[in-house]
Amino acid sequence: MRKLALTAALALGASPALAQDCGEVSITEMNWASSAVVTAVADFLMTQGYGCEVTKIPSSTNPAITSVAETGEPDILTELWVNAAPVYDRLAAEGKVKPLTDVLSDGGVEGWWIPNYLLEEHPELATIEGVLANPELVGGRFHQCPDGWACKTVNANNLRAAGVEEAGIEIFQHGSGETMATSIAAAYQDREPWFGYYWAPTSVLGQFPMTRVDVGEFDAEAHACNALEECPDPKLSPFPEAKVLTVVTDSFAEENPEVTDMLRNMQFTNDQMNGVLAWQEENNASPDEAAVYFLTTYKDVWGDWLNEAASENLASILQ
Amino acid sequence: MAHYDFVFDGLGLRDWCDEGASDGPMTMEQLMAQARGEDPAATSGPLPFPSLDSLHQSCGAIPQTREMTAWLERSFLDAKDTLKVVLDPATQPLSWMLDNALWIFTATPWWILLPILIALTWFVSRSRPVTIFVALSFVFLGAIDHLDVAIQTLAIIFVCTSLCVLFGVPIGIAMSKSDRLQRSVIPVLDLLQTLPTFVYLIPLIFLFSVTESKLYGIAIILYAMVPVIRLTDLGIRLVDKDVIEAANAFGMSNRQKLFGVEIPLALPNIMAGVNQTIMMSLAMVVIASLVSAPGLGVLVLRGIRNLEIGVGLIAGLGIVLLAVMLDRTSKAALDRVDVSRSSR
């Protein structure tokens, strides 16, 4: 009798069969807007489509990579901006981390930006020569990356090559990414000039439209030398598109090939991501709500990422 | 979902609700309900706390919590220009002091600066072990190429701690004289010690430019001033009532009592406060570097960001060394002026 009751209880308590058993999955949620959206979308698809039990781990680039390389946890790293983590190349070469795909398919856009209102007033600032000839128009200051970011070395070499300091523009090194973002917001509030390094897609550039200053053609050799601190003769070169990856551990890829396939297919274009972030700012939405906006607006996009069983599970939303 | 419908229907507010309704974005719960094949508008799940967001789902006229945070932001941005006119000139001397201190400390060659600092230690502490320790610490920091950054941090700490003591002790004395003042100041002190520094530093960037050194100066001073205020207040309140009575019997005026009796007797507590202020200023060094302060904090941050654990550790130990140097020096200075001990 007890056995019967126990079996009945177990049967009642069992969740509706979702056709595939995924188990427990841990996924990072980085501390910036686009990553929160990516993680929320992945979380929803894995939970509702593949029956996973997902744990979100708040993190940022370097702690996440170190943790994966040394302990094999968490299982999935989303939105790894490879150039913000020089240590990534070393770990990938050692085989400790396994890149799946470019989650931002257009790649991140890095460069030197000025606000759109400044460009409208002074069109000559569209090129680096114009900026160097008119240092007071850009505020006499270049906002440089914090120490420890890879962009700091690249910028330092490019600034030397372009002769920015000699032209009378002070190079101000920020202490953290937060102060850079705030300085852009503050400049926009007062419609003051701003000139410095930043990257897209971000909610900052979504909210405060800016344009990249033209620094010429991309030169792979020059850029490779600029990435080294002791580059003997730096030459000016813009940034290539930044690789932004989804990375998983080997054990996770073996145990969950279906979910790994979905993650391999999960890609966002910059237009999609910028659109989602701009919508999020307009509506003061949370990352979950931004993810819902993406899921309801781009059904044909993410429908292709899923396998048969998951598409069935999510059929009610997909139509 | 809309658990509290019955409240508004029952109170007859349905018309008012629907009139002022603004449709919020679809929430994750609604999407998950839709995925499960349920009607997203149906009520499901346990009864949530009647928060602004839950009530908003039943009655669109009630604002969501995000409206409150957005309102705070708008109020700050509107008040920003007025605040700037008041605060910018008031805090400009701080920028000037920090910039000049940094310039003096870094421009002076080490073979002039270090002997001056060691001589200063001797004058203040008159203690041979402490002076030797300070000298050896500087030699060690210099040997591992950390002298420049250590001197920058030292300059910042000197300026900030001096200002903390300069403003903190009078405030503490004023608090000890008035219970009402104490009751109103204590919550402010609690706020200053626990409010995350970045929370008020980021809005300050809107008021002052991010390149101003007063940003990190304000961060350090506001956090580190609290111990000296609290302990000055405590020290003066703890002065023996009998001694005060005796002073009154001698016909001392309030001013004579303060400077002749109360402060000397409260000095151990005040010096403990100064000591804690120095410790807390050094604890803020890394956060100050997050808002572009130079010094050992920059090395710590670089070590963290580049996963160079050794760099971060050594720079951190440099901060500890500075703390110990300043601590021993100030303790030795305390022993010299401690009236209550010298009478033994």
DSSP B51-62: -HHHHHHH-TTS
Nearest to residue B321, comparing CAs of B107, B142, B103, B123? B142
Please give the residue that has the higher pLDDT: either A62 or B317.
B317
- Using the beta-carbon criterion (under 8 Å), do B30 and A292 form an inter-chain contact? yes
Distance from CA of B22 to the nearest CA of A (A): 11
User: How is the beta sheet containing A196-200 ordered, strand by strand?
Assistant: A170-173, A141-144, A196-200, A109-115, A210-212
Residue B28: which of A141, A146, A288 has the nearest Cβ?
A: A288
- Using the beta-carbon criterion (under 8 Å), do A66 and B302 form an inter-chain contact? no
pLDDT of residue B35 exceeding 80: no
Nearest to residue A111, comparing CAs of A245, A185, A211? A211
Q: Are A287 and A36 in contact (CB under 8 A)?
A: yes
Q: Are A199 and A242 in contact (CB under 8 A)?
A: yes
pLDDT of residue A145 exceeding 70: yes
At B342 the pLDDT is 52
Chain B residue numbers with beta carbons less than 8 Å from the beta carbon of A296 are 26, 31
- Using the beta-carbon criterion (under 8 Å), do A179 and B210 form an inter-chain contact? yes
Residue A148: which of B31, B70, B302 has the nearest Cβ?
A: B302
Residues A147-180 have pLDDT tens digits of: 888 888 899 999 999 999 899 999 999 988 889 9
- The stretches of chain A forming alpha helices (DSSP H) are 2-13, 33-44, 50, 61-71, 87-93, 116-121, 128-133, 150-162, 177-190, 203-207, 220-226, 250-255, 257-265, 270-282, 287-297, 299-303, 308-313, 315-318
The phi and psi torsions of A16 (rounded to 5 degrees) equal -55, 135
Residue B42's pLDDT band (boundaries 50, 70, 90)? Answer: low
- Using the beta-carbon criterion (under 8 Å), do A178 and B70 form an inter-chain contact? no
Distance from CA of B92 to the nearest CA of A (A): 19
Give the span between the Cα atoms of B235 and B176, in whole angstroms: 9
Q: What is the pTM of this model?
A: 0.81
Residue A182: which of B210, B211, B307 has the nearest Cβ?
A: B210
pLDDT of residue A17 exceeding 50: no
Q: What percent of chain A has pLDDT over 70?
A: 92
Residue B26: which of A44, A179, A289 has the nearest Cβ?
A: A289
> So what's the ipTM on this one?
0.79
Minimum CA–CA partner of A280 in chain B: B25
Identity (one letter) of the amino acid at B91? T
- Using the beta-carbon criterion (under 8 Å), do B28 and A176 form an inter-chain contact? no
Give the span between the Cα atoms of B207 and B210, in whole angstroms: 9
At A202 the pLDDT is 83
Chain B residue numbers with beta carbons less than 8 Å from the beta carbon of A141 are 211
Chain A residue numbers with beta carbons less than 8 Å from the beta carbon of B306 are 62, 86-87, 148
Distance from CA of B187 to the nearest CA of A (A): 29
Choose the mutation target among B152, B199, B210, B300 for the interface with A, i.e. most A CBs under 10 Å. Answer: B210
- Using the beta-carbon criterion (under 8 Å), do A189 and B70 form an inter-chain contact? no
Residues A278-318 have pLDDT tens digits of: 888 878 888 889 999 999 898 888 888 888 888 888 888 87
Residues B245-304 have pLDDT tens digits of: 999 999 999 999 999 999 989 988 998 899 999 999 999 999 999 988 999 999 999 888
- Using the beta-carbon criterion (under 8 Å), do B304 and A62 form an inter-chain contact? yes
pLDDT of residue A9 exceeding 80: no
Residues A40-97 have pLDDT tens digits of: 999 999 988 888 899 999 888 778 888 887 888 889 998 888 766 667 777 778 877 7
Minimum CA–CA partner of B71 in chain A: A284
Residue A2's pLDDT band (boundaries 50, 70, 90)? Answer: low
Q: Which two tokens stand for residue A270?
A: 């910059």
Count Cβ atoms within 10 A of the Cβ of residue B141 and give its class: 0-12 exposed, 13-18 middle, 19 or more buried.
Answer: buried
In terms of phi and psi (left: phi > 0; alpha: psi -120 to 50; beta: otherwise), the region of A213 is beta
Distance from CA of B182 to the nearest CA of A (A): 35
Chain A residue numbers with beta carbons less than 8 Å from the beta carbon of B26 are 289, 292-293, 296
Residue B66: which of A148, A185, A284 has the nearest Cβ?
A: A284
Residue B105's pLDDT band (boundaries 50, 70, 90)? Answer: very high
Distance from CA of B306 to the nearest CA of A (A): 5
At B1 the pLDDT is 46
- Using the beta-carbon criterion (under 8 Å), do B302 and A314 form an inter-chain contact? no
Q: Are A255 and A23 in contact (CB under 8 A)?
A: yes
Chain B residue numbers with beta carbons less than 8 Å from the beta carbon of A292 are 25-28, 30-31
Question: What angle is formed at CA B97 by the lines to CA B170 and CA B314, rounded to 5 degrees?
Answer: 100
Residue A182: which of B30, B80, B205 has the nearest Cβ?
A: B205
Q: What is the mean pLDDT of residues B27-48?
A: 74
Residue B55's pLDDT band (boundaries 50, 70, 90)? Answer: confident
pLDDT of residue A101 exceeding 70: yes
- Using the beta-carbon criterion (under 8 Å), do A175 and B305 form an inter-chain contact? no
Please give the residue that has the higher pLDDT: either B50 or B179.
B179
- Using the beta-carbon criterion (under 8 Å), do A44 and B28 form an inter-chain contact? yes
Mean pLDDT of chain B: 88
At B202 the pLDDT is 86
Q: Which helix (H) or strand (E) holds A115?
A: strand A109-115
Q: What is the interface size between A and B, counted as CB pairs within 8 Å?
A: 104
At A116 the pLDDT is 94
At A15 the pLDDT is 43
Helix, coil or strand: residue A286 = coil
Chain B residue numbers with beta carbons less than 8 Å from the beta carbon of A15 are none
Distance from CA of B44 to the nearest CA of A (A): 17
Nearest to residue A41, comparing CAs of A203, A243, A246, A207? A246
Chain B residue numbers with beta carbons less than 8 Å from the beta carbon of A146 are 301, 305
Chain A residue numbers with beta carbons less than 8 Å from the beta carbon of B304 are 62, 148
Place of tokens 């270090």: B114
Residues A184-232 have pLDDT tens digits of: 999 998 899 999 999 888 888 878 889 999 998 888 888 888 888 888 8
pLDDT of residue A242 exceeding 90: no
Q: Are A147 and A247 in contact (CB under 8 A)?
A: no
Identity (one letter) of the amino acid at A300? D
Q: What percent of chain B has pLDDT over 90?
A: 58
At B322 the pLDDT is 94
